[in-house]
Amino acid sequence: MSVRLLTLLLALAAAGADLAYAQEPPAPLPLGTDGHGVRLVQRGTPAHLVVLLSPKRYRQVAGRALQMVCAPVPDVTLGADLVGGPRHDFRDVPRPRGSVGAVLHPPRRRTPLVTRLSPQWDWCAFVVRTVRDRGRVTREVGFATVPLTPAGAAFADERGVALRVIVSDLLLLPRPERVKQVARWLHAVVLSSPAETPPPGRLGLYSDHRRHVYAAQTDRAGDLLFLDHDGDVVRTNLLRYMQDDALLWGL
């Protein structure tokens, strides 16, 4: 298992813990913030984006390289199709099409991080980069996703759910008999069949312990995002995420 895939799994498990005890789906992500201490504000003329971090979040990036990418919401929508299976290794995820980026270098002392990026984008994402000798980037870890428009907020939620479904499927596929163990780790629910809809805001997993594995979760827009492996046949409406790694940048 790659380091990046393991990091994603741990992040998914932590996010699942927050949802496990919720009585209803979480509130929509506020515009201009990730809801956890990362904010984007507009300043200056012409307007440019400034990153404001809470003391806790700032300590996570102080003295390190913070890569920021802002992009429009892609035109391609969800669609069901038959595919040969996911091919992600999550080690080399390209930037989204039409995006702009900047590498920020937060000093040790907490301060606003000023960029030259305009606020015209739908969403922005950040990764913390580990840079070794000769400037070589050896690791990138997702830090935050911040929507700037309602369309960006909907997309940020959708892609977060899509990643959760895809990675849980990758985790379950090699050992389908461990569906209960995987569900406990990710704070998911075990479904009685692929026809069962998981509770709002919760990941649902199904396995026949042999060749049939199914993962699904409903996003805030009410769309059920799913990935269904039945032997050699794969059905999903997450085809765009499985064919375009760039849509998962920063997660």
Provide the pLDDT for residue 219. 92
Tokens 């400034």 sit on residue: 50
Work out the angle at residue 60's Cα, subtended by the Cα atoms of residues 55 and 66, and round it to the nearest 5 degrees: 110
66, 103 contact by CB (below 8 A)? yes
- Tokens 């989204």 correspond to 96
pTM attached to this predicted model: 0.82
pLDDT of residue 183: 93
Cα distance between the two ends of the chain:
17
pLDDT at 157 over 70: yes
Res. 54: pLDDT tops 80: yes
Q: What is the pLDDT of residue 25?
A: 56
Condensed to tens digits (0 to 9), the pLDDT of residues 164-200 reads 999 899 899 999 999 999 999 888 999 999 999 999 9
**Sequence ranges of the domains in the chain:** 3-248
Helix axes 179-186, 3-20, angle to 10 degrees: 70
Question: For the segment 117-127, what is each residue's pLDDT rounded down to a tens digit?
Answer: 999 999 999 99
Asked whether the predicted pLDDT for residue 104 surpasses 70, the reply is: yes
